[in-house]
Amino acid sequence: MADRSSARKEGGIIETIRTIFWALVIAGIFRTLFFQPFWIPSGSMKDTLLIGDFLFVNKMAYGYSRHSCPFSACPITGRILASEPERGDVVVFRHPTRNVDFIKRLIGMPGDTVQLQGGRVYINGQEVPQEPNGTFTEIKEPQGPQRLVPACANDPVPPGGNCEYQRFTETLPNGVSHDVLNIRDGWIADDTPVFTVPEGQYFFMGDNRDNSEDSRFGAITGGLGFVPAEYLIGRADRIMFSSAGSSLLYFWTWRGDRFFKAVN
């Protein structure tokens, strides 16, 4: 009787281990093929995305497949875009030269010309309209694990003071509207040459225009440059969780108003 009970118990443990194993395998496949978690590490996409926002990247948004290797640790090769990204999408992609993931907004499509004059975007020679949309305000304090301190339009601001930015609503040629922030006029990338986006590549910018390393800066000089289609990972659709502290365990820093918020 004792032997039978022991065997039953051992069988239950083995079954539990087997169940956990297959659950992890399925979760790994689900993550690899469909969604990828992403933490926002910097303020380049404020106020659309804040430092400490956690989201899942929809890897099937553009219907690509990776033929050479199905795992995220493998080189990004062999991807085929079954559907093209849309202008205005917030996209996670692999930096073409640094092998790290970035998140920016898609501004320029293949064949477009893109230029900035006085901080305003021109696409194919036409100015992208902006409308004032009040002020974005946050506390001037260290943010996220890197303890980044924001630059403010109203600097100098003491620690704990209100850090303010001019906010505008920008409407792209396809009708997609989104907010952008301005810290200062006359920033180094407020005026650019005309960029012509090559076929099969894209031009990205951050919504926090004066605090974003994006396609305005060439890869040859350490910037981003144009991003080839095969480096796109997926589209950011919804914020799942958000923490203003240096660790997600600091529950008193959670931003409850950003849970399950759509990314526009």
Q: What are phi and psi of 45, to 5 degrees?
A: -110, 15
Tell me which of 104, 140, 242, 243 is the catalytic residue: 104
- As given in the structure block, the two tokens for residue 56 are 């899942």
Note whether 25 and 214 are within 8 A (CB).
no
Three-class DSSP category at 6: helix
Note whether 235 and 210 are within 8 A (CB).
no
Q: Is 261 a catalytic residue?
A: no
Tell me which of 42, 44, 212, 242 is the catalytic residue: 44
36 sits in the region (left: phi over 0; alpha: psi -120 to 50; else beta) called beta
Three-class DSSP category at 188: coil
**Closest alpha carbon to 253 in 178, 141, 173:** 141
- DSSP structure string for 9-64: HHHHHHHHHHHHHHHHHHHHHHHHHTEEEEE--SSTTTTTS-TTEEEEEETTTT--
Note whether 103 and 92 are within 8 A (CB).
yes
**Closest alpha carbon to 247 in 149, 144, 147:** 144
Q: Is 104 a catalytic residue?
A: yes
How far apart (Å, rounded) are the C-alpha atoms in residues 215 and 116? 12
**Catalytic positions, please?**
44, 104
